[in-house]
Amino acid sequence: MTANQRENWSKFTWRAGADWDLSPRNFMYASYETGFKAGGFFFE
């Protein structure tokens, strides 16, 4: 039995962030990002 195999080693990922100076003593920030675990085979 033969399986069709497809490799996948990369993917587009991104990160976004923002920061605010609320006052001279307070700072706030937030960020969101996607990730990808590289490597592996997909059997079809």
Task: Give how far Cα 4 sits from Cα of 27, 33, 34, Å.
Answer: 53, 32, 29
DSSP 4: -
Does 8 score more than 80 pLDDT?
A: no
User: pLDDT, tens digit, for every residue of 9-27?
Assistant: 678 889 999 999 999 999 9
What pLDDT score was predicted for residue 37?
Answer: 73
Does 2 score more than 60 pLDDT?
A: no
What pLDDT score was predicted for residue 6?
Answer: 66
User: What pTM value is reported for the model?
Assistant: 0.51
